[in-house]
Amino acid sequence: MNPPLLILALAALASAQNFVDVKPSPQQVQWQDLEFGVLIHFGPNTFMDREWGEGNADPSVFNPAQFNPEQWVLAAKSAGAKYLVMVAKHHDGFCLWPSHYTEYSVKHSPWKGGKGDVVGEVARAARKHGLKFGVYLSPWDRHEPAYKDNKKYDEYYRNELRELASNYGDLVEWWLDGAGSEAHVYDFDSYVKELRTYQPNTLLFADVGFLSYGDIRWVGNEAGFAQEDNWNVIDRLGYLRWRPVEADTPLRKLHWFWHPNDEKSLNSLAEMLDIYHKTVGRGAQLVLGLAPDNRGLLPDSDVARLKEFGDEIRRIYGKNVGREDNAALDGDPDTTWSPPPGAQPGEIMGYYNPPITFDRAVTTEWLAGGQRVQKYAIDFNDGTAWHRIASGTSIGHKKIDIFPRVTASQVRLLILSASDTPVIRDFQLYDGRGK
Ligand code: FUL
């Protein structure tokens, strides 16, 4: 090998990545702990019974008489949501804030005499009630004439981005939706640079096919489920990155915007619980689509379903029946447990006298040092023998295993395979079907 080639080969070796070495940023660690947020769609489509506007709706259609974002926020909070992402501009190009860069916005609507700012009011309401706030700004724009000219449109998008990123406080997330953009080339590098200038801590959401280096990846469907095998580190074009998954799905099936006479599409409580268990319960983030109606309020049935869902989650996961005073079983996410060096398998054991009855386990991994557990199992002892009730591969941020109700005097979590010393935040047991 000649010297320059040798140097290249050594350099490649020095930078070779192993997924074990890839860790989340502090912002990602915090964001994953939020677990559940909402994504709000509201705009001309709301008044026109549409999902994708063509960008030719007259701004005069936007006129919600009872606009009240506090009602949205309180409903989201009752469901347990910790953050709110507002669609500031959907594919129709209509801006819900008074942008200086277009006339196609709330400025020309009759709402508040053209002096209103939906984004500002929603951001204030969210923060007032303790929710973090984020923004969705559609790259695909069916109204803006500059869209035909890639360079001009890049400048337009950056201008809008700068307004949103510099006037509405800290943003928890920036949503880059890839829909409709297949044939368009964007200068994403310049968007990200602009975003980072004003929002160094915001996390960028994007489909991996759309943008190789987002901070959060799209789950790949809008039906509300993540894969059971859920790894936070994924390879994109030979480059490993911590990219936790976010699953977006609407409260009303297939409908991101409000539509009249649409009661049938509202998810049932059972469907909501299933979504929760297949997203949050598989270590993914859930972002639930909410759609205020043409009054500017969430429909009563949506408000009721959100509260019912939150109440049910609080009931099921309210009492950890396996709680004991040690770092793994104490229910405290800030204390962690690791097996002694060389222990194979690593084992957390709970002893219960009198025996406990439960039908699910919640296991959480401390991810700041990386995702390590690759295979685990859960066993219980009914007083005579051990029985396996659950097993899996990844644990990650949170793994919920649901099984038939059992009564046990001993329960154990076995870490059967890990890429490095496993760090478990908690192993909890609940009796969800018990009354
Ligand atoms: C999709 C969009 O096309 C939908 O209208 C909605 O905004 C959803 C969250 O993302 O890609």
Per-residue confidence at 2, pLDDT binned at 50, 70, 90? low
- pLDDT, averaged across the chain: 95
Same domain, 214 and 280: yes
- Determine the pLDDT at residue 17: 80
- Determine the pLDDT at residue 3: 52
Q: How far is the CA of 41 from the centre of ligand 1 (A)?
A: 9
- Determine the pLDDT at residue 41: 98
Residue ranges making up the domain that contains 183: 22-316
Q: 395 lies in a domain?
A: yes
Same domain, 282 and 384: no
- Determine the pLDDT at residue 5: 53
- Determine the pLDDT at residue 15: 58
Give 4's Cβ-side CA count (13 Å radius): 0
CATH number at 380 reads: 2.60.120.260
- Locate the ligand 1 atom nearest the alpha carbon of residue 52 and give its number: 5
Q: Is the CB of 248 under 6 A from ligand 1?
A: yes
Q: How far is the CA of 23 from the centre of ligand 1 (A)?
A: 30
* pLDDT, mean of residues 423-430: 97
- Determine the pLDDT at residue 344: 85
**What are the pLDDT digits (tens) for 335-362?**
999 999 888 889 999 999 999 999 999 9
**What are the pLDDT digits (tens) for 20-42?**
899 999 999 999 999 999 999 99
Same domain, 298 and 358: no
CATH number at 28 reads: 3.20.20.80
Per-residue confidence at 16, pLDDT binned at 50, 70, 90? low
Same domain, 150 and 222: yes
Per-residue confidence at 1, pLDDT binned at 50, 70, 90? very low
* Of 297, 316, 335, the domain-final residue: 316
- Determine the pLDDT at residue 259: 98
Same domain, 386 and 294: no
Number of folded domains that form the chain: 2
Same domain, 181 and 249: yes
Residue 14 has pLDDT above 80, yes or no: no
* pLDDT, mean of residues 299-314: 98
Same domain, 299 and 211: yes
Nearest CA to ligand 1 atom 1: 179
- Determine the pLDDT at residue 173: 98
Q: Is the CB of 256 under 6 A from ligand 1?
A: yes
Looking at beta carbons, which pairs linking 102-109 to residues 24 or more positions away fall under 8 Å? 102/143, 102/144, 102/156, 102/160, 104/55, 104/59, 104/143, 104/144, 105/59, 106/59, 106/62, 107/59, 108/59, 108/60, 109/59, 109/60, 109/61, 109/62, 109/63
* Of 268, 296, 316, the domain-final residue: 316
Q: Which residue has the higher pLDDT, 303 or 328?
A: 303
